[in-house]
Amino acid sequence: MNDPAGILSASRRTDIPGWYTPWFLDRIEKGYFFITNPFNRQSRRVNATHEDIHTIVFWSKNYGPFLDLRAHKILARKGFHLFFNFTINTPLKDLEPGLPDLSERLAQARIIARDLGPAQVAWRFDPICFYEKGGQVFNNLDAFEYIAGQLSQMGIKQCITSFYDPYKKVDLRIKRMANQGSPMLEFIDPGMDRKTKIIRSMARFLNPLGMDLCLCCEKELMNAAGLQTYASPNACINGHLYKTLFGGNPEIRSDYGQRRKKGCQCTKSFDIGSYEDHPCFHNCLFCYARTGRDITKPAMGCPTTEHENKRLKT
């Protein structure tokens, strides 16, 4: 049997469709990417022709720039199979200030589902956040049912969710922004009992719509709350699914470089993009990837840095 074809993840580290589609298409035209390990800074070349890559999995909160360039059609014509992880949350400017209106993002999902098929789209309502601001507790669940209803009409069958995980960099970011005049808020843990009730409620709402609920890296919640009849652990990169959708011989080995102890079910992939070279300007407050530079939206164009241009010059 031939060696399995790779899966290209674009990307857990930044929003490539939202900010770097021209760069991505340029690298596809050249036929390879350089991937830098964020921990040891070692780089390696990964071939990116349709013979080498079985499926490209995109992650984004804003596919507008990607669709404006008709990138999905360009890539499909080149022979690539495509899958879209699309995060669509309740539109709270406290948490996700840099995104287009919800109506615009739903329209983007409709285009992808129409052009390529709804089976190639997974909806991420992620993360579920509880936070305190001005002595009041808020969450981002209020538009969940509306979003689910809209996406189910497009034929999308999967909802992936998780609860906010605390990161020290997020706390430091909130303090820094408060010092600059932004509201002071604090993320809070709603507790296991409330989390369980939320997941059960979400699953009960989704079931009549024909949508499955999956949990991303929530092993403790799954085990402690007995939620197996309501939700399933998720593989956000799923070679088994891509084989079912597209045929062929994609990579299906488990990716032990991800958060397996937390319940990650992902199969192996090449994750491109860089925290440093490709900062995301959506400015989502809870983001684990965002650095201190990711504050100001570029005036125009694709914000690929001078350092990235030099490093990838061919």
Cα three-residue angle 235-128-242, rounded to 5 degrees: 20
Sign of CA dihedral 254, 10, 82, 2: negative
d(CA 249, CA 192): 40
| HEC profile of the chain | CCCCEEEEEECCCCCHHHHCHHHHHHHHHHCEEEEECCCCCCEEEEECCCCCEEEEEEEECCCHHHHHCCHHHHHHHCCCEEEEEEECCCCCCCCCCCCCCHHHHHHHHHHHHHHHCHHHEEEEEEEECEEEECCEEEECCCCHHHHHHHHHHCCCCEEEEEECCCCHHHHHHHHHHHHCCCCCEEECCCCHHHHHHHHHHHHHHHHHHCCEEEECCCHHHHHHHCCCCCCEECCCCCHHHHHHHHCCCECCCECCCCCHHHCCCCECCEECCCCCCCCCCCCCCCCCCCCCCCCCCCCCCCCCCHHHHHHCCC
Q: Hey, how many other C-beta atoms are within 10 angstroms of the C-beta on 94? A: 14
Asked whether the beta carbons of 295 and 17 are under 8 A apart, the reply is no
Whether this prediction's pTM lies above 0.85 is answered by yes
Query: Which residues, 6+ apart, have CB-to-CB distance to 235 below 8 Å?
Result: 241, 264, 265, 266, 267
Sequential pLDDT tens for the chain (314 residues)? 578 999 999 999 999 999 999 999 999 999 999 988 777 778 899 999 999 999 999 999 999 999 999 999 999 999 999 999 999 999 888 899 999 999 999 999 999 999 999 999 999 999 999 999 999 999 999 999 999 999 999 999 999 999 999 888 888 888 887 788 777 899 999 999 999 999 999 999 999 999 999 999 999 999 888 899 999 999 999 999 999 999 999 999 999 889 888 999 999 999 998 888 899 999 899 998 765 544 555 544 454 544 444 444 43
Q: Say how many Å lie between the first and final Cα of the chain, rounded.
A: 34
Q: Hey, how many other C-beta atoms are within 10 angstroms of the C-beta on 159? A: 27
